[in-house]
Amino acid sequence: MIAKTDMMSVLLEGCPSFSTKWESSRDEWRQEADDPPLYLFLADFARHLIGMVERGEKAVLVAVFTAVERLLVEGDPDVREATVVGLLEDLQNLNLHPNGTAPEQFLPYLGPASARWWAKLDRFWQHGELLTDDDGAAPAGGPGSLSGGVARAAPAAAERDRSAAEWFRVNEVPAEAWGRMIGFYRKLIDEYGFHQTPMLEFVSWLAASPYSRVLYPSTSHAALGLSAVPTFEQRLRQPMVYIAYADPTGFAIHWQRGQGDEVREELVPSPKAPEVFDRILEWLGLPERRLAEPAAGSDGG
Protein backbone atom coordinates (compact mmCIF):
# COMPACT_ATOMS: atom_id res chain seq x y z
CA MET A 1 0.00 0.00 0.00
CA ILE A 2 1.32 3.45 -0.92
CA ALA A 3 1.86 5.74 2.09
CA LYS A 4 1.93 9.55 2.23
CA THR A 5 5.71 9.50 2.42
CA ASP A 6 5.84 7.75 -0.97
CA MET A 7 3.11 9.74 -2.68
CA MET A 8 5.27 12.37 -4.39
CA SER A 9 7.75 9.72 -5.53
CA VAL A 10 4.95 7.93 -7.37
CA LEU A 11 3.89 11.17 -9.05
CA LEU A 12 7.47 12.00 -10.02
CA GLU A 13 7.80 8.63 -11.71
CA GLY A 14 4.95 9.67 -13.97
CA CYS A 15 6.11 13.27 -14.34
CA PRO A 16 9.92 13.64 -14.05
CA SER A 17 9.74 17.26 -15.26
CA PHE A 18 8.32 18.25 -11.86
CA SER A 19 11.50 17.12 -10.08
CA THR A 20 13.19 20.53 -10.01
CA LYS A 21 10.16 22.27 -8.50
CA TRP A 22 9.66 19.40 -6.06
CA GLU A 23 13.26 19.55 -4.83
CA SER A 24 12.97 23.31 -4.35
CA SER A 25 9.72 22.99 -2.39
CA ARG A 26 11.07 20.15 -0.29
CA ASP A 27 14.14 22.21 0.61
CA GLU A 28 11.96 25.19 1.51
CA TRP A 29 9.96 23.05 3.94
CA ARG A 30 12.86 20.97 5.23
CA GLN A 31 12.27 22.13 8.80
CA GLU A 32 8.78 20.63 8.55
CA ALA A 33 10.09 17.24 7.45
CA ASP A 34 7.95 15.42 10.01
CA ASP A 35 4.76 17.05 8.72
CA PRO A 36 5.35 18.53 5.25
CA PRO A 37 2.53 20.55 3.63
CA LEU A 38 1.44 17.83 1.23
CA TYR A 39 -1.51 19.81 -0.10
CA LEU A 40 0.75 22.70 -1.06
CA PHE A 41 2.98 20.30 -2.96
CA LEU A 42 -0.06 18.89 -4.73
CA ALA A 43 -1.22 22.41 -5.64
CA ASP A 44 2.19 23.06 -7.17
CA PHE A 45 1.95 19.77 -9.04
CA ALA A 46 -1.50 20.71 -10.36
CA ARG A 47 -0.15 24.04 -11.61
CA HIS A 48 2.70 22.18 -13.29
CA LEU A 49 0.25 19.90 -15.11
CA ILE A 50 -1.90 22.85 -16.17
CA GLY A 51 1.23 24.55 -17.50
CA MET A 52 2.03 21.45 -19.53
CA VAL A 53 -1.42 21.57 -21.10
CA GLU A 54 -0.90 25.27 -21.91
CA ARG A 55 2.33 24.39 -23.72
CA GLY A 56 0.81 21.44 -25.55
CA GLU A 57 2.95 18.91 -23.67
CA LYS A 58 0.17 16.36 -23.39
CA ALA A 59 1.96 13.13 -24.24
CA VAL A 60 3.29 12.68 -20.71
CA LEU A 61 -0.20 13.03 -19.19
CA VAL A 62 -0.84 9.35 -19.89
CA ALA A 63 1.98 8.40 -17.53
CA VAL A 64 0.95 11.08 -15.03
CA PHE A 65 -2.59 9.80 -14.68
CA THR A 66 -1.39 6.22 -14.58
CA ALA A 67 0.46 7.31 -11.42
CA VAL A 68 -2.65 9.12 -10.14
CA GLU A 69 -4.68 5.97 -10.69
CA ARG A 70 -2.14 3.99 -8.65
CA LEU A 71 -2.55 6.41 -5.76
CA LEU A 72 -6.33 6.00 -5.79
CA VAL A 73 -6.21 2.21 -6.08
CA GLU A 74 -3.12 1.31 -4.05
CA GLY A 75 -2.87 4.28 -1.68
CA ASP A 76 -3.69 4.24 2.02
CA PRO A 77 -6.69 6.34 3.18
CA ASP A 78 -4.64 9.53 3.57
CA VAL A 79 -3.14 9.12 0.11
CA ARG A 80 -6.51 8.53 -1.52
CA GLU A 81 -7.95 11.54 0.27
CA ALA A 82 -5.09 13.83 -0.75
CA THR A 83 -5.34 12.64 -4.35
CA VAL A 84 -9.05 13.46 -4.46
CA VAL A 85 -9.44 16.68 -2.47
CA GLY A 86 -5.90 17.83 -3.20
CA LEU A 87 -4.76 17.06 -6.71
CA LEU A 88 -7.98 16.33 -8.62
CA GLU A 89 -9.85 19.21 -7.02
CA ASP A 90 -6.97 21.57 -7.80
CA LEU A 91 -7.10 20.53 -11.45
CA GLN A 92 -10.81 21.44 -11.47
CA ASN A 93 -10.16 24.84 -9.90
CA LEU A 94 -10.82 27.50 -12.52
CA ASN A 95 -8.63 29.97 -10.66
CA LEU A 96 -5.64 27.82 -11.59
CA HIS A 97 -6.51 28.08 -15.31
CA PRO A 98 -5.78 31.79 -15.98
CA ASN A 99 -4.46 31.34 -19.52
CA GLY A 100 -7.35 29.70 -21.31
CA THR A 101 -7.00 26.05 -20.34
CA ALA A 102 -9.98 24.17 -18.91
CA PRO A 103 -10.32 21.32 -16.41
CA GLU A 104 -12.09 19.23 -19.06
CA GLN A 105 -8.82 18.96 -20.99
CA PHE A 106 -7.66 16.37 -18.45
CA LEU A 107 -10.68 14.12 -18.90
CA PRO A 108 -9.24 11.97 -21.75
CA TYR A 109 -6.34 10.92 -19.52
CA LEU A 110 -8.25 9.87 -16.41
CA GLY A 111 -8.31 6.22 -15.38
CA PRO A 112 -11.50 4.61 -14.03
CA ALA A 113 -10.98 5.58 -10.38
CA SER A 114 -9.78 9.07 -11.30
CA ALA A 115 -12.77 9.64 -13.57
CA ARG A 116 -15.17 8.45 -10.87
CA TRP A 117 -13.76 10.82 -8.23
CA TRP A 118 -13.52 13.65 -10.75
CA ALA A 119 -17.24 13.38 -11.40
CA LYS A 120 -17.99 13.14 -7.67
CA LEU A 121 -16.00 16.31 -6.98
CA ASP A 122 -17.90 18.15 -9.67
CA ARG A 123 -21.26 17.03 -8.29
CA PHE A 124 -20.14 17.93 -4.75
CA TRP A 125 -19.42 21.56 -5.66
CA GLN A 126 -22.17 22.02 -8.22
CA HIS A 127 -25.02 20.25 -6.45
CA GLY A 128 -23.89 19.67 -2.85
CA GLU A 129 -23.81 15.88 -3.28
CA LEU A 130 -21.86 14.22 -0.47
CA LEU A 131 -18.34 13.27 -1.45
CA THR A 132 -18.43 9.59 -0.54
CA ASP A 133 -17.29 6.34 -2.06
CA ASP A 134 -19.86 4.00 -3.59
CA ASP A 135 -20.08 2.15 -0.28
CA GLY A 136 -20.91 5.41 1.52
CA ALA A 137 -17.40 5.98 2.85
CA ALA A 138 -15.52 9.23 2.41
CA PRO A 139 -12.26 8.93 0.45
CA ALA A 140 -10.24 8.65 3.64
CA GLY A 141 -12.42 5.84 4.87
CA GLY A 142 -14.83 7.61 7.23
CA PRO A 143 -17.72 10.06 7.02
CA GLY A 144 -16.51 13.63 7.02
CA SER A 145 -12.85 12.68 7.01
CA LEU A 146 -11.91 15.04 4.21
CA SER A 147 -9.19 16.93 6.04
CA GLY A 148 -6.14 15.02 7.07
CA GLY A 149 -8.18 11.96 7.96
CA VAL A 150 -10.04 13.86 10.68
CA ALA A 151 -13.54 12.52 11.28
CA ARG A 152 -16.15 14.25 13.42
CA ALA A 153 -19.35 12.65 14.59
CA ALA A 154 -22.58 14.62 14.76
CA PRO A 155 -22.65 16.91 17.82
CA ALA A 156 -24.27 15.55 20.95
CA ALA A 157 -27.73 16.79 21.91
CA ALA A 158 -26.38 19.03 24.66
CA GLU A 159 -23.99 20.64 22.20
CA ARG A 160 -26.78 21.25 19.69
CA ASP A 161 -28.97 22.80 22.37
CA ARG A 162 -26.20 25.08 23.56
CA SER A 163 -25.41 26.13 20.01
CA ALA A 164 -29.05 26.78 19.12
CA ALA A 165 -29.29 29.08 22.12
CA GLU A 166 -26.37 31.04 20.65
CA TRP A 167 -27.89 31.13 17.14
CA PHE A 168 -25.50 28.51 15.79
CA ARG A 169 -27.05 25.60 13.90
CA VAL A 170 -24.46 22.88 14.47
CA ASN A 171 -27.01 20.19 13.68
CA GLU A 172 -27.25 21.53 10.12
CA VAL A 173 -23.54 21.19 9.40
CA PRO A 174 -22.87 18.25 7.05
CA ALA A 175 -20.16 15.84 8.10
CA GLU A 176 -18.17 16.94 5.05
CA ALA A 177 -17.85 20.48 6.37
CA TRP A 178 -17.01 19.31 9.87
CA GLY A 179 -14.19 17.17 8.56
CA ARG A 180 -12.61 19.96 6.56
CA MET A 181 -13.04 22.76 9.06
CA ILE A 182 -12.17 20.75 12.15
CA GLY A 183 -9.02 19.50 10.45
CA PHE A 184 -7.71 22.98 9.77
CA TYR A 185 -8.82 24.59 13.02
CA ARG A 186 -7.42 21.76 15.09
CA LYS A 187 -4.07 22.72 13.59
CA LEU A 188 -4.64 26.40 14.41
CA ILE A 189 -5.59 25.54 17.97
CA ASP A 190 -2.60 23.25 18.41
CA GLU A 191 -0.09 25.67 16.91
CA TYR A 192 -1.40 29.04 18.04
CA GLY A 193 -3.66 28.34 20.99
CA PHE A 194 -6.86 29.62 19.36
CA HIS A 195 -10.08 28.16 20.67
CA GLN A 196 -13.37 29.73 19.62
CA THR A 197 -15.83 26.85 19.47
CA PRO A 198 -18.99 28.90 18.74
CA MET A 199 -17.31 30.69 15.84
CA LEU A 200 -15.96 27.40 14.57
CA GLU A 201 -19.51 26.06 14.48
CA PHE A 202 -20.72 29.14 12.62
CA VAL A 203 -17.92 28.97 10.08
CA SER A 204 -18.50 25.25 9.58
CA TRP A 205 -22.17 25.93 8.87
CA LEU A 206 -21.22 28.74 6.53
CA ALA A 207 -18.65 26.60 4.73
CA ALA A 208 -21.29 23.98 4.02
CA SER A 209 -23.39 26.45 2.05
CA PRO A 210 -23.40 26.12 -1.75
CA TYR A 211 -21.92 29.58 -2.34
CA SER A 212 -18.74 29.20 -0.35
CA ARG A 213 -15.59 27.17 -0.62
CA VAL A 214 -13.44 25.55 2.03
CA LEU A 215 -9.87 26.29 1.06
CA TYR A 216 -6.50 24.82 1.89
CA PRO A 217 -3.64 26.66 3.65
CA SER A 218 -1.34 28.64 1.39
CA THR A 219 1.92 30.52 1.59
CA SER A 220 0.49 33.29 -0.60
CA HIS A 221 -0.80 35.37 2.32
CA ALA A 222 1.95 37.98 1.98
CA ALA A 223 1.08 38.57 -1.67
CA LEU A 224 -2.55 38.97 -0.71
CA GLY A 225 -1.70 41.46 2.02
CA LEU A 226 -3.33 39.28 4.65
CA SER A 227 -2.23 38.07 8.05
CA ALA A 228 1.07 36.31 8.65
CA VAL A 229 -0.87 33.51 10.32
CA PRO A 230 -1.55 30.73 7.76
CA THR A 231 -4.32 31.75 5.42
CA PHE A 232 -5.94 30.14 2.38
CA GLU A 233 -5.05 29.76 -1.24
CA GLN A 234 -7.74 31.28 -3.43
CA ARG A 235 -9.62 28.47 -5.16
CA LEU A 236 -12.43 30.50 -6.62
CA ARG A 237 -15.24 29.12 -8.74
CA GLN A 238 -18.06 30.89 -6.87
CA PRO A 239 -18.33 33.82 -4.45
CA MET A 240 -16.59 32.74 -1.31
CA VAL A 241 -16.18 33.38 2.38
CA TYR A 242 -13.11 32.18 4.17
CA ILE A 243 -11.08 32.62 7.34
CA ALA A 244 -7.68 34.27 7.23
CA TYR A 245 -6.57 34.31 10.86
CA ALA A 246 -7.76 34.38 14.44
CA ASP A 247 -6.99 35.95 17.77
CA PRO A 248 -8.40 35.40 21.29
CA THR A 249 -11.38 37.70 20.65
CA GLY A 250 -12.66 36.32 17.39
CA PHE A 251 -11.97 35.39 13.78
CA ALA A 252 -11.19 37.63 10.83
CA ILE A 253 -13.60 36.73 8.06
CA HIS A 254 -12.70 37.61 4.47
CA TRP A 255 -15.26 37.50 1.72
CA GLN A 256 -15.34 38.39 -1.95
CA ARG A 257 -17.85 38.19 -4.77
CA GLY A 258 -15.62 37.09 -7.61
CA GLN A 259 -12.09 36.72 -8.87
CA GLY A 260 -10.20 39.99 -8.55
CA ASP A 261 -13.06 41.64 -6.68
CA GLU A 262 -12.53 43.66 -3.54
CA VAL A 263 -11.73 41.51 -0.51
CA ARG A 264 -13.42 42.60 2.69
CA GLU A 265 -12.26 41.75 6.16
CA GLU A 266 -13.73 42.01 9.62
CA LEU A 267 -12.68 40.76 13.02
CA VAL A 268 -15.83 39.11 14.32
CA PRO A 269 -16.45 38.25 17.99
CA SER A 270 -18.52 35.09 18.28
CA PRO A 271 -21.78 36.75 19.47
CA LYS A 272 -21.76 39.00 16.38
CA ALA A 273 -21.62 36.12 13.88
CA PRO A 274 -25.30 36.15 12.78
CA GLU A 275 -25.25 39.88 12.12
CA VAL A 276 -22.05 39.62 10.10
CA PHE A 277 -23.38 36.59 8.26
CA ASP A 278 -26.36 38.62 7.03
CA ARG A 279 -24.08 41.44 5.88
CA ILE A 280 -21.92 38.98 3.98
CA LEU A 281 -24.95 37.55 2.21
CA GLU A 282 -26.18 41.02 1.29
CA TRP A 283 -22.79 42.06 -0.09
CA LEU A 284 -22.50 38.85 -2.10
CA GLY A 285 -25.95 39.50 -3.54
CA LEU A 286 -27.33 36.25 -2.17
CA PRO A 287 -30.69 35.52 -0.54
CA GLU A 288 -30.81 36.14 3.18
CA ARG A 289 -30.80 32.96 5.24
CA ARG A 290 -30.96 33.68 8.93
CA LEU A 291 -29.81 31.27 11.54
CA ALA A 292 -32.10 29.94 14.24
CA GLU A 293 -33.67 32.42 16.62
CA PRO A 294 -32.54 32.00 20.24
CA ALA A 295 -34.55 29.49 22.24
CA ALA A 296 -37.36 31.09 24.26
CA GLY A 297 -36.23 32.06 27.72
CA SER A 298 -32.59 31.35 26.91
CA ASP A 299 -29.94 33.59 28.38
CA GLY A 300 -27.64 32.73 25.44
CA GLY A 301 -25.13 30.90 27.59
Q: Considering the domain boundaries, does residue 21 fall inside one? A: yes
Q: Considering the domain boundaries, does residue 123 fall inside one? A: yes
Q: Considering the domain boundaries, does residue 57 fall inside one? A: yes
| pLDDT tier at 264, thresholds 50, 70, 90 | low
How confident is the model at residue 157, as a pLDDT?
39
Domain housing 94: 4-127
Q: What is the DSSP string of 136-183?
A: S--TTSSTT--BTTB--PPPPHHHHHHHHHTT--GGGS-HHHHHHHHH
Same domain, 166 and 93: no
How confident is the model at residue 102, as a pLDDT?
92
Q: Considering the domain boundaries, does residue 293 fall inside one? A: no
Whole-number Cα distances in Å, 103 to 90, 100, 237, 242, 291: 9, 10, 12, 23, 35
Q: How many domains does the chain have?
A: 2
Query: What is the overall mean pLDDT for the chain?
Result: 61
Same domain, 21 and 103: yes
Same domain, 180 and 80: no
User: Which has the minimum average pLDDT: 5-9, 84-88, 125-129, 215-219?
Assistant: 215-219
Same domain, 161 and 123: no
User: Which has the minimum average pLDDT: 57-61, 62-66, 153-157?
Assistant: 153-157
Q: Please list the residues that pair with 254 across neighbouring strands.
A: 242, 265
Q: How far apart are CA 94 and CA 113, in angstroms?
A: 22
Same domain, 26 and 115: yes
| pLDDT tier at 90, thresholds 50, 70, 90 | confident
Same domain, 102 and 198: no
Q: What is the DSSP string of 192-214?
A: H----HHHHHHHHHHHTSTT---
Q: Tell me what the mean pLDDT of segment 42-67 comes to.
A: 93
Q: Tell me what the mean pLDDT of segment 66-80 comes to.
A: 93
How confident is the model at residue 283, as a pLDDT?
57
Label residue 18 exposed, middle or buried (CB < 10 Å: 0-12, 13-18, 19+). Answer: buried
How confident is the model at residue 38, as a pLDDT?
76
Whole-number Cα distances in Å, 114 to 6, 103, 198: 19, 13, 37
Q: Tell me what the mean pLDDT of segment 75-103 comes to.
A: 86
> What DSSP character marks residue 263?
P
Q: Considering the domain boundaries, does residue 300 fall inside one? A: no
Same domain, 223 and 273: yes
**Stated pTM of the model:** 0.51
% of the chain at pLDDT higher than 70: 39
| pLDDT tier at 24, thresholds 50, 70, 90 | confident
pLDDT of 185 strictly over 70: no
How confident is the model at residue 93, as a pLDDT?
80
Q: Considering the domain boundaries, does residue 135 fall inside one? A: no
Choose the most confident range, by mean pLDDT, from 21-30, 49-58, 250-259: 49-58
Same domain, 123 and 173: no
Same domain, 210 and 267: yes
Q: Considering the domain boundaries, does residue 36 fall inside one? A: yes
How confident is the model at residue 114, as a pLDDT?
95
How confident is the model at residue 105, as a pLDDT?
95
Same domain, 246 and 167: yes
Same domain, 182 and 81: no
| pLDDT tier at 164, thresholds 50, 70, 90 | very low
**b or e along 144-167 (b: 16 or more beta carbons within 10 Å of the residue's beta carbon)?**
bbbbbbbbbeebeeeebebbbbbb
Q: Considering the domain boundaries, does residue 55 fall inside one? A: yes
Same domain, 69 and 11: yes
Q: Please list the residues that pair with 232 across neighbouring strands.
A: 217
| pLDDT tier at 115, thresholds 50, 70, 90 | very high
| pLDDT tier at 59, thresholds 50, 70, 90 | very high
242-259, pLDDT tens digit by residue? Answer: 444 444 444 455 555 544
